[in-house]
């Protein structure tokens, strides 16, 4: 087995653990904010940097119509603003308002405990996993 195929298998396994155990957190975020999760995905991406609608669509894996609906909704709620692109007037740049930043910060502050499957790991294994994830995050 090549290193690439091994990395692919590890990635799929890691993604499955996260996807299979993230529903409670997602429900909590929706309940806390009153926003559909598709809007949360947009807000979290905009927290990293301002983007055009096309960039948001790509980053949030949404189609163009869904992205427009999401941006319109967030703008009506006062969570984002659209402004002319500084170098290309054909585009608008979407950015968070102060209230949008507050919502993102409140999401980041929500409790997100490890799922029960992590009980299968002992302290040493958790430390090893944390070290590996820290290494991946620094690249």
At residue 85, the pLDDT reads 86
Domain boundaries, the chain: 1-21+115-139, 36-112
pLDDT at 3 over 80: no
Handedness of CA 14, 19, 21, 22 (dihedral sign): positive
At residue 87, the pLDDT reads 87
At residue 2, the pLDDT reads 67
DSSP the chain: --HHHHHHHHHHHHHHHHHHT-HHHHHHHHHHH-S-HHHHHHHHHHTT--EEHHHHHHHHT--HHHHHHHHHHHHHTTSEEEEE-SS-TTSEEEEE-HHHHHHHHHHHTS--PPPGGGGGS-HHHHHHHHHHHHHHHH-
Residue-level length of the chain: 139
At residue 90, the pLDDT reads 86
Quickly tell me which residue has 């997602």 as its tokens.
26
* Rg of the chain taking only CA atoms, in angstroms: 18
pLDDT at 139 over 70: no
CATH topology classification for 36-112: Arc Repressor Mutant, subunit A (1.10.10)
State residue 37 phi and psi, 5-degree precision.
-65, -25
Beta carbons of 92 and 82 less than 8 angstroms apart: yes
pTM: 0.80
pLDDT tens digit sequence for 61-97:
999 999 999 999 999 999 999 999 888 888 899 999 9
At residue 36, the pLDDT reads 96
Average pLDDT, the chain: 92
């Amino acid at each position: 087995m090549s290193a690439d195929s091994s990395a692919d298998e590890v990635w799929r396994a890691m993604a499955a653990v996260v996807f299979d155990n993230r529903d409670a957190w997602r429900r909590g975020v929706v309940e806390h904010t009153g926003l559909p999760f598709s809007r949360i995905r947009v807000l979290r991406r905009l927290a990293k940097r301002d983007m055009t609608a096309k960039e948001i669509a790509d980053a949030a894996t949404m189609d163009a119509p869904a992205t427009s609906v999401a941006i319109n909704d967030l703008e009506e709620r006062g969570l984002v603003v659209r402004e002319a692109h500084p170098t290309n007037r054909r585009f608008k740049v979407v950015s968070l308002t102060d209230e949008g930043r507050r919502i993102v910060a409140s999401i980041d502050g929500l409790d997100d405990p490890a799922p029960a499957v992590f009980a299968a790991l002992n302290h040493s294994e958790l430390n090893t996993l944390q070290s590996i994830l820290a290494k991946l995050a620094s690249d």
